[in-house]
């Protein structure tokens, strides 16, 4: 979890996967847009330790989202590269 922009009056934006992709976007959205990026995959982890199904991945993200923002509403943004294309 990385808070790219912690404060702001707008609905929180939760960016899913690949924190680095969202850094510039968060800065361009302005100071009123809180942005938190979440990534459940450890790039150094072996493939066997990764969640096996889309449901398991979603459950891990829901857990992280509720830890950061226990109550909505919030806006979700996502990006998926080759790593999760086969799920």
Contact 82, 19 (CB under 8 A): no
Is residue 86 in a domain? no
Is residue 87 in a domain? no
Is residue 76 in a domain? yes
Is residue 63 in a domain? yes
Taking alpha carbons only, the member of 14, 58, 65 closest to residue 4 is 14
Domain that holds residue 76: 2-81
The CATH number of the domain where 6 resides is what?
3.40.50.1820
The predicted pLDDT at position 52 comes to 76
The predicted pLDDT at position 6 comes to 84
Structural domain count of the chain: 1
The predicted pLDDT at position 10 comes to 93
Q: Please, which pLDDT band fits residue 33 given cuts at 50, 70 and 90?
A: very high
In angstroms, the CA 2 to CA 54 distance is 23
Backbone angles phi, psi at 15, to 5 degrees: -100, 125
CA-to-CA separations, 11 to 21, 43, 58, 66, in angstroms, rounded: 20, 29, 21, 15
Q: What is the pLDDT of residues 35-81, one digit of tens each?
A: 998 887 766 666 666 677 889 888 988 998 998 888 889 898 887 66
């Amino acid at each position: 979890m990385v808070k790219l922009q912690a404060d702001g009056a707008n609905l929180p934006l939760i960016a899913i996967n690949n924190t680095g992709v969202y850094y510039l976007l968060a800065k361009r959205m302005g100071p009123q847009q809180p942005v938190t990026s979440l990534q459940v995959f450890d790039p150094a982890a072996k493939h066997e330790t990764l969640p096996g199904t889309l449901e398991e991945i979603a459950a891990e993200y829901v857990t992280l989202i509720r830890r950061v923002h226990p109550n909505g509403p919030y806006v979700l943004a996502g990006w998926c590269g080759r790593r999760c294309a086969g799920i």
